[in-house]
A and B are shown apart, each in its own frame.
Chain A
Amino acid sequence: MTTLTATLPGVADPRGLRRSLGRAERRRKLRAFALTVPLLVFLMLTFLVPIAALLKRAIENPEVAQALPRTAAALDGWNRRDAPPPEAYAAVLADLGALPDSADAGALARRLNSEVAGARSLVMNAYKALPLEGAGTPSGAREKLLALDERWADVKYWQAIAKNGSRWTPDYLLASVDLKRDALGQVERMAPDQRVFGRILVRTFEISAIVTLCCLLLGYPLAYWLSTLPARQANILMILVLVPFWTSILVRVAAWIVLLQSAGLVNRALLATGIVDHPLALLFNRTGVIIAMVHILLPFMILPLYSVMKGVSPTYLRAAVSLGSRPAAAFFRVYVPQTYPGIGAGALLVFILSIGYYVTPALLGGADDQMLSYYIAQYTNVNVNWGMASALGALLLAATMVLYAVYRRVTKSELSLG
């Protein structure tokens, strides 16, 4: 650049030119940045902020700390094994009495109940019985609470209160991988009958892997065929691939229910042709889920494959054959390796979309075909335990990011969608 401007004839001050070139360059960059600002702000507000809020909810634990500050203080020196000190009983009564709104008692009851089943009625009954006569002294408070409900003597409820005294907790995240803190704060595995998310995560990956594989097996030959056709025909056929892609997922799932039920079109056709003698179970099990998911996700495999294959020159294949390779060997050793970026992008796209699937397994699957998202919805809507829902969301997010990292490590390239 310098030499070029220096030797340009008729330029009086090469340094000045360089400056103004630099200025123009900066202005160009600034303008380019300004053009992307709306998108950045949009992404910030709709993507990053919600994710940050979700992650915050996964570790937030304000209910007990806010509602029972005196109790938490009274339990501070307690060894968490023997009976709690009588002062704690008095503190519970004082705390419950000082709650500004009954909704706070409800929130406290919900939080403790999700830790120890039964705590809901324990807390609400005490709250509704307030004020208790003759509960002036700590031992009096203890007596009154025990008279109200003898479960107040049970250490497990006190352990739950003591454990949740701080505003932040790792409990939700631990629970999302089937771990918990015991009464003393040591991390241990959940009881076998409460261990569930590990298995569901494995199941989620399993279904996604099968769907990805099926998509690849079905999509690869089709994409290859499309890439060899003249543009006009390829475009027409591409529309056939895209039309289902543009149809609502719910409509397609409903269509599959009609097709796959035991008196549905598929089973009637199979029965009529004598291939089977009683209807196959295709619905409300793994088979139905996989059939519908493959159908829905197939375009995400075909499109990246097609765009990569379009860029592969057919001359390589011809050269290999003319050099004496058998056509099949030429295809697998010369052509397929050139489409690896397409396979990688398609497979990753399908896999990542699959692990977040909710509505298809919910409508077409049985109780043991549900994926992680189903339980996120369950905790959000039914149990209204948003901490647990956020923790499961964080788990799904982490799984996706690990996958992407692995993909980059393996292919040593950025994700390219062609």
Chain B
Amino acid sequence: MTLEASAVTSVVSSIKSGPGRRKRRLPAGIVVVLALMATGLLWAAFAPDGRAADSSASNEQVRLGRALFLAGCSSCHGLSAQGGNQAPSLIGVGGAAVDFQVSTGRMPLAKPQAQAERHKPKYTQTQIDQLAAYISSLAPGPAKPDAATVENQANIAQGGALFRTNCASCHQAIGQGGALSNGKHAPWLGEATSVQIAEAIRTGPESMPVFGDGQLNQQQVASIITYVKFVTNPKDPGGAAIGHYGPVPEGLVAIFVGLGGLVIATLWIGSRFS
């Protein structure tokens, strides 16, 4: 039981306790919140209906968020976010998950499908923060990471090694994404923001596994983000990237451009001049 609690705590603390400015400004408040969360987490896991400790977000934010939730999300996720046949419970998922899903336009979902696709977000960032505040008020979970912390102390080479072990198997070595089973797929990473990448790593949206602070620490996540930012938009010294997908588009170019061009040349050479 204690082990369970400490595991989850470390996930949360890693997000809240980056080397960002906020921590330095309000250390006492954060520490109190974290302590409260740590003790409350066990309850969160086993008592999904229970109200966890109050969050530091203002009640006003929570109230506005609840109104947005009831209007836009409750038809699937239930009136009190308890989940339904079509949608999972949102209790305890945390602000990071809300921010990731809504800011990438994956939620709200127009119709149920194998996997939510990235779209233009339907809510403004203010509204997303309000939704996140409401969901966080139900039960604590990983909070939205601070933009300033996610790119700190990054080491691009280390990020590359971590990326190849943990991420490339689904998202492809150049971050182009790839197929999963039954119509699901790992998305292209080029359009994800640094914060969204951090949120996805920490919360494990949909098929993606979760990477907590015990698996990848804050500095390692920052390194991965730096590498992703590099590799999805690299300088290509060798000319056109032809999709960064490797041998398949290369083969198509070789056959249709290379060989095709040469076959046209043979037609020209073989034709009579008139």
Q: Do they bind each other?
A: no
